[in-house]
């Protein structure tokens, strides 16, 4: 085979590995290397919930009340909210809740970015266990007991909850569709990694850590949740993802918003891996394997797609791979274009929507790589809701 043919087959295998072979391998490994978790179901530690909020007047009240009404003993709960320079009524709403409930603290900062705010809030926490939470999450009743009792096992450094994305106002746009589909795959991968050893993929949802393993975020470039779970892995403690512990995300989504979010997550993810590059060395075992397979190779997928286009334009048309390469790319980009256009008039085909999401995801990945290379800031960001 020629060099272009070898490159094409290698990159095709890499794409196949990311989305199909790796999950299958994990499923097999989870049967062979399953690591049981022994816990004390009666363990009920003191816990501090930390919420960094920027202009969250629409969501913050329900988020805090979902903690209070979760069924976990209220005398064991502390809640710390940091307003990151909010210009709406976020701080006012939290102050009203302080008059109604015990154990709520509010700290107001100038606009500084989420990482700075979280660093300051963790210093205020005086409990061994800290739970990080976003304002658009709602805690289902009864899950906190099952989440927190896992910390009775000394091997556990972090427990991460699963996510149920609620379609607001029946808004099944391509952003919501794609994210729900993507998270179904991610849920399985996180689950299998946790059964084998330790999950390495953050979710940005409700997760708890032992405060002793928290490392201050070094800059505005790293992703707060991803950096935290890799910090736990660096201490060789287990990050356990429980797919049965489900919290609800109620914020509306859009294709534009999801691309913007991917840009931030990939730039922050690459910055985080760079800061934690020690974990890529083989002495971290499963963590190294998971991190490279689950995160690093996937971030590079848009470069694979660009390479396909370049090689197609340069390769010998007599190659046995030329026509399959041309037809595959035409199919992908035509179905993505049609899917995007049809979405505008509310005509939806499942296959076309997958193509749209796949291309938009890789656009976000590529722009995220550019932001990482330019060292663009990631922790000071605005939410983008559906239009």
- On whether the CB atoms of residues 35 and 239 are closer than 8 A, the answer is no
**Residue 16 contacts by C-beta under 8 Å, 6 or more apart in sequence?**
none
- On whether the CB atoms of residues 298 and 189 are closer than 8 A, the answer is no
Q: Indicate if the pLDDT at residue 41 is higher than 80.
A: yes
**Is 108 part of a structural domain of the chain?**
yes
**Is 12 part of a structural domain of the chain?**
no
296 pLDDT band, cuts 50/70/90, is: very high
Mean pLDDT of 330-344: 93
**In this predicted structure, what is the pLDDT of residue 386?**
47
**In this predicted structure, what is the pLDDT of residue 387?**
44
Task: Compute the mean pLDDT over every residue in the chain, rounded to the nearest whole number.
Answer: 91
Q: Which residues pair with 82 in a beta bridge?
A: 52, 107
CA distances from 276 to 106, 200, 216, 223, 280 (A): 32, 12, 13, 12, 8
Q: Which H or E element spans position 246?
A: strand 238-249
**Is 112 part of a structural domain of the chain?**
yes
Boundaries of domain holding 59: 47-265
Q: What percent of the chain has pLDDT over 90?
A: 76
181 pLDDT band, cuts 50/70/90, is: confident
- On whether the CB atoms of residues 41 and 71 are closer than 8 A, the answer is no
Mean pLDDT of 360-383: 83
**In this predicted structure, what is the pLDDT of residue 377?**
66
**Is 324 part of a structural domain of the chain?**
no
Q: Indicate if the pLDDT at residue 169 is higher than 80.
A: no
195 pLDDT band, cuts 50/70/90, is: very high
List, for residues 310-333, the tens digit of each pLDDT value: 999 888 899 999 999 999 999 999
**In this predicted structure, what is the pLDDT of residue 24?**
96
**Is 208 part of a structural domain of the chain?**
yes
**Structural domains of the chain, count:** 1
**In this predicted structure, what is the pLDDT of residue 356?**
92
217 pLDDT band, cuts 50/70/90, is: very high
**In this predicted structure, what is the pLDDT of residue 381?**
58
- Helix orientation angle between 322-344 and 350-374, rounded to the nearest 10 degrees: 100
Euclidean distance between CA atoms 189 and 346, whole angstroms: 32
List, for residues 45-79, the tens digit of each pLDDT value: 999 999 999 999 999 999 999 999 999 999 999 99
**In this predicted structure, what is the pLDDT of residue 95?**
97
DSSP state of 140: P
**Is 277 part of a structural domain of the chain?**
no
Euclidean distance between CA atoms 236 and 231, whole angstroms: 9
Q: Indicate if the pLDDT at residue 376 is higher than 50.
A: yes
DSSP 3-state of 348: coil
- On whether the CB atoms of residues 199 and 35 are closer than 8 A, the answer is no
Residue 90's CATH number: 3.90.550.10
Please tell me which residue, 126 or 177, carries the higher pLDDT value. Answer: 126
């Amino acid at each position: 085979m020629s060099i272009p043919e070898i490159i094409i087959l290698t990159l095709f295998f890499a794409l196949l590995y990311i989305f199909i072979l790796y999950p299958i391998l994990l499923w097999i490994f989870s049967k062979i290397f399953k690591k049981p978790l022994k816990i004390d179901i009666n363990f009920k530690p003191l816990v501090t919930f930390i919420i960094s909020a920027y202009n969250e007047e629409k969501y913050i009240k329900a988020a805090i009340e979902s903690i209070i009404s979760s069924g976990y003993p209220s005398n064991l709960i502390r809640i710390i909210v940091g307003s990151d320079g909010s210009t709406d009524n976020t701080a006012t709403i939290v102050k009203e809740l302080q008059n109604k409930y015990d154990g709520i603290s509010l700290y107001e900062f100038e606009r500084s970015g989420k990482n700075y705010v979280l660093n300051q809030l963790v210093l205020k926490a005086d409990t061994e266990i800290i739970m990080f939470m976003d304002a658009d999450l709602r805690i289902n009743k009864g899950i906190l007991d099952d989440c927190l009792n896992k910390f009775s096992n000394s091997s556990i450094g972090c427990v991460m909850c699963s996510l149920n994305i609620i379609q607001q106002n029946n808004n099944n746009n391509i952003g919501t569709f794609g994210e729900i589909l993507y998270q179904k795959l991610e849920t399985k991968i996180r689950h299998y990694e946790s059964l084998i050893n330790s999950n390495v993929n953050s979710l940005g949802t409700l997760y708890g850590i032992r405060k002793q393993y928290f490392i201050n975020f070094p800059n505005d470039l790293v992703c707060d949740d991803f950096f935290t779970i890799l910090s736990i892995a660096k201490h060789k403690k287990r990050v356990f993802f429980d797919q049965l512990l489900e919290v609800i995300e109620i914020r509306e989504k859009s294709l534009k918003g999801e691309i913007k979010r991917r840009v931030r997550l990939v730039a922050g993810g690459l910055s985080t891996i760079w800061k934690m590059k020690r974990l890529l060395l083989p002495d971290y075992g499963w963590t190294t394997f998971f991190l490279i397979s689950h995160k690093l190779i996937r971030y590079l997928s848009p470069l694979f797609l660009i390479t396909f286009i370049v090689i197609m334009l340069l390769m010998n048309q007599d190659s046995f791979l030329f026509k399959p390469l041309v037809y595959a790319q035409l199919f992908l980009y035509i179905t993505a274009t049609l899917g995007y256009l049809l979405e505008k008039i509310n005509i939806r085909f499942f296959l076309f929507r997958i193509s749209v999401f796949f291309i938009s995801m890789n656009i976000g990945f590529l722009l995220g790589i550019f932001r990482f290379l330019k060292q663009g800031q990631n922790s000071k960001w605005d939410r983008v809701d559906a239009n």
